[in-house]
Amino acid sequence: MSDAQSLQADVIVVGGGNAALCAALAASEAGARTVVVERAPEASRGGNSAFTGGAFRVAYAGTDDILKLVPDLSEAERATSDFGSYTAETFGDDLLSMSAYRADTELIDTLVGRSHETLAWMRGHGVRFIPIYGRQAFKIDGRFKFWGGLTIEASGGGLGLVDALYARAAKLGIDVRYEHKVTELLTRDGAITGVAAQAEGRRCEIRAPSVILASGGFHANTEWRARYLGPGWDLAKVRGSRYNTGNVIEAAMRIGACSRGHWSGCHSVFYDANAPEFGDIHLLNQQKNYFTLGIVVNAHGERFIDEGEDFRNYTYSRMGAEILRQPGGAGWQIFDSQTSPLLPDEYRVRHATRMVADSLPELIEKLDGVDRERLHKTIRDYNAAVDRGVAFNPAVKDDRRTRGLAIDKSNWAMPLEQGPFVAYQVTCGITCTYGGLAISPQAEVLSEDGPPIPGLYASGELVGGLYYNKYPGGAGLTAGAVFGRIAGRAAAAHSRNIH
């Protein structure tokens, strides 16, 4: 087993993030000898999952369902938390409506219907869930009100999630091969027989009758971004893993796998203008997603979006594309002291590109590359248009809006008039791509001719057909876990049948 050239297994999992590890755990607990083949070195393992906040979108009827996932809540926490509900119907409607009803309804039904049971299964494998008090709840009248369909996250965020899954994999004896870049899927008579990979400068083969692909999309491939997403996308900063370049998608399509989904679409966010070109696990919190609490302007000093269109986790995933369309692909988020205390940790890190001043003229003078005269007018017009007769409430869509502007702000409109004032320079950070491989609800990779490719399964961000145009925050980790678990079980069963 130590010689990669002669390694045999029942199930091979390609990738090393949440979807891959859930697949490996499910295959292993079903009795399959499982090998995880991860392109990254051990120090950079975890794929995009390690860069996330760890939020999971899950269907639940009420507090009792949350307590099944978070049983260690104290009595005080229960008394001061209004979890509300997020029904399967609402979850499904969010996914479908945000895709303009293009999403695969069978995949959506599977994702939603199995979301709660899958998270309970993950908890049984050592993943601890906690309420998202810091990022998805505001305290109103003494109780935390959760908003935007997001209630729980993995303890420790994305890194905590990844560490918990790898700890469990180690206990189950799952073999993890780092620095193995899969270059080819091996087949015989149309069925999967293993993978070929580059490791330590040489080609090696790992044989198994079942292979699960969970290695992410192509967001880190500069040439593919320009080819599929369009002009200018080669300039976007990469928020997550540098190893998600689409090579495994390409290998699957070479053997006849069917492509599906929104290949010209992606998840992209407002991102710190001076962040590194690739995600740095030691410099997280580069995204700037609470634009709903202020205004966003471009280099012309003009607003270009409705910052209050909806809760931020329903709109944030297209904001990278919006800023990339602006002059220079950059802009500024501006807040005053009425809302800046509500900004979460991602705005408070030392490496944020931040400007602070006691007055608006002083702040505007500090903003490089902005039409200052136009910005003064933009803020004056915005302040005058705010409907001050409606109470501000960040925990609900409060209908506190502006009226009469070219682009009105629909909710949470607060005038910028109380110092100190703060501005954050932002650009585009790409998180993941939406196009990928076609799968069945059983996580089987479908061929171009229609039937599944025997022995080939997939989960995670390389699956197409779930997201179009927009993405509801927290859906990705849940989808990776749900279809990863399904793929692991199905791959183990296929290997038993082959043997």
> What is the predicted pLDDT for the residue at 6?
60
The pLDDT score that the predictor gives to residue 140 is: 86
> What is the pTM for the complete model shown?
0.94
User: What are the structural domains, with CATH classification, of the chain?
Assistant: 4-217+434-498 (3.50.50.60), 268-429 (3.90.700.10)
User: Which residues lie below 8 Å from residue 393, measured CB to CB, with a gap of 6+?
Assistant: 140, 400
pLDDT at 186: 98
Task: Give tens-digit pLDDT for 59-113.
Answer: 999 999 999 999 999 999 999 999 999 999 999 999 999 999 999 999 999 999 9
pLDDT value for 3: 44
Residue linked to tokens 């506190």: 400
pLDDT value of residue 4: 44
Note the pLDDT of residue 433. 97
The pLDDT, as a whole number, for residue 494 is 98
User: How far is the C-alpha of 231 from the C-alpha of 244, rounded, in Å?
Assistant: 20
Computed over every residue of the chain, the mean pLDDT equals: 95
d(CA 440, CA 21): 20
Measure CA 344 to chain center: 18
- Local confidence pLDDT in tens for the 499 residues of the chain: 344 446 899 999 999 999 999 999 999 999 999 999 999 999 999 999 999 999 999 999 999 999 999 999 999 999 999 999 999 999 999 999 999 999 999 999 999 999 999 999 999 999 999 999 988 988 888 999 998 899 999 999 999 999 999 999 999 999 999 999 999 999 999 999 999 999 999 999 999 999 999 999 999 999 999 999 999 999 999 999 999 999 999 999 999 999 999 999 999 999 999 999 998 888 878 999 999 999 999 999 999 999 999 999 999 999 999 999 999 999 999 999 999 999 998 999 888 999 999 999 999 999 999 999 999 999 999 999 999 999 999 999 999 999 999 999 999 999 999 999 999 999 999 999 999 999 999 999 999 999 999 999 999 999 999 999 999 999 999 999 999 999 999 999 999 998 7
Looking at residue 280, what is its pLDDT?
85
| CA nearest neighbour of 63 among 134, 141, 151 | 151
Q: Per residue in 372-401, pLDDT tens? A: 999 999 999 999 999 999 999 999 999 999
